[in-house]
Amino acid sequence: MAASRSLPPAGVEGGTVSSAIEAGLLPLTAEVRPEGLAVGGILLTELAQRFGTPLFVYDEEHLRRRCREAVAAFGRGHVAYASKAFLCTAMARLAHEEGLLLDVASGGELRVALHAGVPADRIVLHGNNKDEAELRTALLAGVRHVVVDSFDEMERIERLHAEEHLPAARVQLRVAPGVAAGAHEAIRTGGHDSKFGFGISDGAAAAAVGRALGSPAMILEGVHAHVGSQVLDAVELARGAAAVARFAVEVRAHRLTVGGGLGVAYEAGQVAPSFADWAARMRDAVRGSGWSGEVTVEPGRSIAARPGITLYRVGTVKRIEGVRTYVGVDGGMSDNLRPALYGSRYEAFLPRCPRAPRPLRARVVGKHCESGDVIIDDAALPADLRVSDVLATPVTGAYGYAMASNYNKLPRPAVVFVADGRARVVVRRETDEDLLRLDVSEAADAAVAPSLGMMRSGTGDPVRAQTAGAA
């Protein structure tokens, strides 16, 4: 299906421009039909009816196109999909099929990638506080390399090598280059004051290089840096790349990874650099710093964000005279935490009428017991919005489902991939039974109670008491 390239010009009401949703915020295969907006050849309203709401919908062709664009810009084997943006078995498999490595930031993400059939030597283990279990799993599986973030992690790797005779770890050292970028302080990661990496300016990074080179438990592969996230200026990313490249040249590193950062347009009027532009500026920056080797990048958001869209059902329209209009939907901060966490901004539209002007200003809120449960603070919506409408928030493919929770015991939404007129559920909707599956039964509670009493009274050995109580 061809993407709709443009939508009609804006309408005006009360002096406020209220345009239709921009095509540049929609998935690649978005197509306006008389009945409404279709993605992947299927009407969004039909998907909401079939699979319920809230619902994450991904344009599979768009996901694959973004992967291919990244590989074309940086080269096969030099793009690692940052799984934290969005991960499930289907997404891990898709990224691997399109030639991307997978960057995982926990033992859980590693397990999903392996379960998807991604070879371990195509997986990079990241994270700033990896425990022994995560490191053990990675080393036994044979991951491509581990991004080491601290001297404490080095100690754990050395202990596993000495005491359990695990193979030497191939490592890249994460460094803090002193260059921070990003739309919000919470997603600026490359500065001096950061929980991530070894600082270059205070000598910690040089000391880490020395330790890795002198340790039989580690094989130093290279250096890594990540300056921030949701960066819309490729020049900022290039500055960070130049800083870490200078350090890589100084320590004679074999490989250089400049992690993530490339942003996406979330609102009308925003423009994000292309992968090709990012690659050209970054190459110029690292070459100007003396680096002549290849560079690996870790895009996550810029792969997954725009191909994804979230569908909600409107349940309440509350007009407070002289104040504002509230539009309540059946999801909220449990499926999109970013507005509450970072102050992130989105747009919204009604899939039944994507070309409609949007003169109504309203605050789109979720159903959670929090005043801060706001999805869009000042949304532009069609004037005829009504209860039971399907409402869509575009560009929600990154850090939506990935950050989803069960707050207020809401089941997490389903995730659907659409392509060529077919829809497949890749993550099923949680059920009420799922919300109870981790709770201990009353029988087990009764069995544990005596041991808890012994622990509170200080009598007996706690471990033995728990064992005896559970027997």
The set of catalytic residues is 369
C-alpha pair distances (Å), 392 with each of 45, 81, 255, 438: 10, 26, 42, 32
Q: Which residue has 């200003």 as its token pair?
A: 361
Strand partners, 95: none
Classify 331 as helix, strand or coil.
Answer: coil
Q: Which two tokens stand for residue 286?
A: 């690292």
Question: What is d(CA 104, CA 195) in angstroms, rounded to the nearest whole number?
Answer: 18
Q: Which two tokens stand for residue 33?
A: 């039909």
**E strands present in 133-253:** 145-148, 169-176, 198-199, 218-225
By the 10 Å C-beta count (0-12 exposed, 13-18 middle, 19+ buried), 203 is classed as exposed
Query: Quick check: 275 and 72 in contact, CB under 8 A?
Result: yes
For 42-98, give the DSSP string. EEHHHHHHHH-SSEEEEEHHHHHHHHHHHHHHH-TTSBEEEGGGS--HHHHHHHHHT
* Rounded CA separation 416/261 (Å): 26
- 114: its two tokens: 């392996």
Q: Can you tell me the distance from the alpha carbon of 82 to that of 230, in angstroms, rounded to the nearest whole number?
A: 13
Residue recorded with tokens 């859980």: 108
The CA distance from 22 to 8, in Å, is 9
Residue type at 71 in one-letter notation: V
CA–CA distances in Å: residue 387 to residues 330, 362, 376, 407: 11, 14, 17, 24
- In 3-state terms the chain splits into helix, strand, coil percentages (rounded to 5) of 35, 25, 40
Contact 118, 142 (CB under 8 A): no
At 336 the three-state DSSP class reads coil
Is residue 304 within 8 Å of residue 321, measured between CB atoms?
Answer: no
Tokens standing for 444?
């087990």
Q: Could you tell me the end-to-end alpha-carbon distance of the chain, in angstroms, rounded to an integer? A: 62
Question: What's 381's DSSP letter?
Answer: E
Angle (CA) 201-206-208 rounded to 5° is 120
